[in-house]
């Protein structure tokens, strides 16, 4: 009888432990980020002391990039580009060495123009990690075009992956690659059908060595709802393997997008509009307000989860 009871206790502990770890996604820096209603996009320096993200107004009329620095005891945040808000700046990405920061913007090519442009890829550069950023620089052709370019991501060798709705796409939005050839970018090409479809593929994170790609696919048959995160790994023949859904422990029934992977800590950061709000009874307005102020309330927020790349390798 005693053996049976001990076995039962062990079983229940195992079961309880499983249910506790079945949902490993947690909010990122809620004390810092909860001051913004809509936040998305995330990148950080390799030492984790400097982060960048996009903050938006409730209806996304205003979009700015925020820089936050860890002082050791707290985070200090400021506008990356000052002034900001007149044009939409979003989707920051740090180069692997931390000396260039790429982003998407519809700002005009020169400060004297009042005409908003389509979205282009821009970048800032600095001499070292403690230096100030330069003024924004438009990356130009052949990456930028008369169409929209979004969500730049760059490998160690300088190759750039980005989203575009240009006519060379296989459907709606596609993920494109432009190779860096010693001193210039080459004509972008749409990635293969292993990644792109006749629907929407967007917001790709390329690994520093270009051996895997994490991106969002919208309303796919194997999805959990809205946009899901997928991964494609590079095969031995150099082609991209068929993309795989990252699964229900990461994806939700709402939009999951904007991935960034900290390879040092095997930590995946991403944006989600997931919500834990469900119909219930309230006895006061305070209860209702408390519910609305929860982190998982359907607004764009940034989350993280441990990430095991090996389970997705071909």
d(CA 271, CA 139): 25
Per-residue pLDDT reduced to its tens digit, 47-87: 999 999 999 999 999 999 999 999 888 999 999 999 999 99
Average pLDDT over residues 101-110: 94
The answer to whether residue 102 is domain-embedded is: yes
Q: pLDDT tens-digit profile of 152-192?
A: 999 999 999 999 999 988 889 999 999 999 899 999 999 99
DSSP structure string for 43-95: EE-TTSSEEEEEEE-TTSS-EEEEEEEE-SSSEEEEESSSS-SSS-EEEEEE-
What are the tens digits of pLDDT across the range 183-228?
999 999 999 999 999 999 999 999 999 999 999 999 999 999 899 9
- The closest of 252, 256, 253, 169 to 205, measured between CA atoms, is 256
For residue 284, is it within any domain? yes
Quick one: average pLDDT of 41-52?
96
Structural domain count, the chain: 1
pLDDT at 234 over 80: yes
Confidence of residue 130 (pLDDT cuts 50, 70, 90): very high
Rg of the chain in Å (alpha carbons): 21
Please indicate, yes or no, if residue 13 is contained in any of the structural domains: no
Query: Which region holds residue 62: left if phi is over 0, alpha if psi is between -120 and 50, else beta?
Result: beta
Give the pLDDT of residue 196.
97
pLDDT for the residue 106: 96
Q: Give the domain range for residue 285.
A: 25-312
pLDDT in tens, 2-22: 444 444 444 444 444 433 344
90 and 40 Cβ atoms separated by less than 8 Å:
yes
**Of 25, 24, 19, 55, nearest to 38 (Cα)?**
55
- Tell me whether residue 8 is in a domain: no
**Angstrom distance (rounded) from CA 213 to CA 187:** 20
Please, where are the H alpha helices in the chain?
Answer: 2-21, 30-33, 285-292
289 in a structural domain? yes
Is residue 34, in this structure, part of any structural domain at all? yes
Q: Say how far apart CA 102 and CA 121 lie, in whole Å.
A: 7
Contact 117, 111 (CB under 8 A): no
**pLDDT (0 to 100) of residue 180:** 97
CATH number, domain of 172, equals 2.120.10.30
pLDDT digits (tens, 9 = 90+) for 269-305: 999 999 888 998 999 999 999 988 888 888 999 999 9
Residue 132 clears pLDDT 80, i.e. is over it: yes
- Report yes or no on 15 lying in a domain: no
pLDDT of residue 91: 99
**Torsion of Cα atoms, 80 then 82 then 87 then 91, to 10°:** 0
Q: Give the pLDDT of residue 12.
A: 43
Residue 23's pLDDT is 54
DSSP 240: B
Whether 60 is in a domain gets the answer yes
Does residue 137 surpass a pLDDT of 80? Answer: yes
**pLDDT (0 to 100) of residue 311:** 85
């Amino acid at each position: 009888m005693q053996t049976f009871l001990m076995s039962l206790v062990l079983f229940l502990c195992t079961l309880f432990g499983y249910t506790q770890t079945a949902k490993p996604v947690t909010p990122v820096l809620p004390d810092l980020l909860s001051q913004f209603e809509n936040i998305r996009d995330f990148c950080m320096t390799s030492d984790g002391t400097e982060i960048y993200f996009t903050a938006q107004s409730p209806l996304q009329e205003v979009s700015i990039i925020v820089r936050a620095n860890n002082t050791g005891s707290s985070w200090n945040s400021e506008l990356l580009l000052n002034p900001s808000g007149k044009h939409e700046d979003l989707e920051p990405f740090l180069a692997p060495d931390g000396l260039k920061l790429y982003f998407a913007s519809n700002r005009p090519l020169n400060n004297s123009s009042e005409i908003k442009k389509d979205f282009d890829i821009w970048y800032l550069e600095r001499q070292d990690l403690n230096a100030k950023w330069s003024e924004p620089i438009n990356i130009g052709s052949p990456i930028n075009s008369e169409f929209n370019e979004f969500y730049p991501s760059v490998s160690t060798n300088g190759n750039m992956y980005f989203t575009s709705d240009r006519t060379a796409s296989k459907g709606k939005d596609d993920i494109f690659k432009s190779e860096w050839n010693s001193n210039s970018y080459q004509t972008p090409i749409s990635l293969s059908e292993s990644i792109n479809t006749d629907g929407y593929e967007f917001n790709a994170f390329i690994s520093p060595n270009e051996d895997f790609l994490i991106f969002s696919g919208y309303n796919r048959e194997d999805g959990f709802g809205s946009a899901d995160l997928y991964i494609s790994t590079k095969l031995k023949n150099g082609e991209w393997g068929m993309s795989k859904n990252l699964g229900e422990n990461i994806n939700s029934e709402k939009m999951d997008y904007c991935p960034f992977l900290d390879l040092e800590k095997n930590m995946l950061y991403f944006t989600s509009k997931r919500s834990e709000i469900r119909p219930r009874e309230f006895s006061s307005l305070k209860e209702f307000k408390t519910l609305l102020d929860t982190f998982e309330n359907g607004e764009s927020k940034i989350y993280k989860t441990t990430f095991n790349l090996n389970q997705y390798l071909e």
